[in-house]
Amino acid sequence: MSSTPVITVDGPSGAGKGTISHLLAEKLGWHFLDSGALYRVTGQACVIEGVSWEDHEAVTRIARHLDVSFTTADTGEILVAYKGRDVSRAIRTEEGGRGASTVAAIPAVRQALLARQREFLQPPGLVADGRDMGTVVFPDAPLKIFLTASAEERARRRFDQLLAKGESVSLPRLLEDIEERDARDSQRKVAPLLPAKDAVVIDSTATPVADVFAAVMREVAAKGLK
C-alpha cells in the first residue's frame, strides 16, 4: 500500500461531496479524484457508441478501454473528454446520472475502473469523491468522511444547480430521480452505497457549506493530515 495519504468523501447525490472535496483538495494542495465522472463517462460512451446500458458485456468492454481525459481549463473548470470529445456538459445531466448508476451496478464495470481510480493516488495526497472510496477503493484511508442530507434537501440543491445552468427541470421529478438513484446505489450487490465502519458521518441538511468544511478540517487536523 502507498504511504501517500488519501481522504475519502462518500455519500449520496447532492450531499455536497464535490463541493467539500474540491475545497479540501485546494486547501491541502492535493490531487482530486471524481470517481463519479468515470462512471458518468462510461454511461455516456455507451450512448455515443450505440451500446445499451443493459448490455453488460459491451458496457464492460467500454469501461476496460475507456479513453477518458481530465484537463483543467483556464477558468479552473475541469473538462472531461471521451476519445478527445468534450463530454463535460453531457455527463452532468440527470440522464447522465441515471446512465452512471445503471452501469455502476455491473460488477465487471466496477472491477474495470478500480485500477484506474487507484492511479490517482499520487504525492502529496489525494481527496477521493464517490460512493465506495472508503469501503472498496481506498479501504486504508486515514480519514473517511460520509456526507449525507435528506433527499428533499438534495433534490432542492440539484434543482438550483441545474436551473443556474439553464436546464429546465421539475423539482418533483428530481426528487424521484434522486430517490431512484439512492435505491439503486444502496441496493446493488457490489460496493453498495454505505458508510465505511470507520467513517465520520456528517449530515449537512441544515448546515451551510462553510460549517461542513470547518467540521471536515477539524477531522483533518485531528488525524495530523495538515
Ligand X SMILES: Nc1ccn([C@@H]2O[C@H](COP(=O)(O)OP(=O)(O)O)[C@@H](O)[C@H]2O)c(=O)n1
The cell for 52 is 445499451
State how far the Cα of 37 lies from the Cα of 96, in Å rounded to an integer: 10
Query: Where does the chain show beta strands of DSSP type E?
Result: 6-10, 31-34, 68-72, 78-82, 85-86, 126-130, 143-148, 200-203
State how far the Cα of 212 lies from the Cα of 207, in Å rounded to an integer: 6
Out of ligand ADP, ligand X, none, what residue 99 binds, judged by CB under 5 to 8 A for its kind, is none
131 phi, psi to nearest 5 deg = -120, -35
Q: How far apart are the two ends of the chain, measured CA to CA in Å?
A: 21
Out of ligand ADP, ligand X, none, what residue 212 binds, judged by CB under 5 to 8 A for its kind, is ligand ADP
Q: How many residues bind ligand ADP (CB under 6 A)?
A: 15
CB of 144 to ligand ADP, least distance (A): 15
Looking only at residues 159 through 178 of this chain, which bind ligand ADP when binding is defined by CB under 6 A? Answer: 161
The residue from 5, 193, 204, 216 that contacts ligand ADP (CB under 6 A) is 204
User: Which of the stretches 6-14, 80-88, 114-122, 138-146 binds ligand ADP when contact is defined by CB under 6 A?
Assistant: 6-14
For the annotated binding site, the residues are 11-19
**Site residues for ligand ADP per CB under 6 A:** 11, 13-19, 157, 161, 204, 207-209, 212
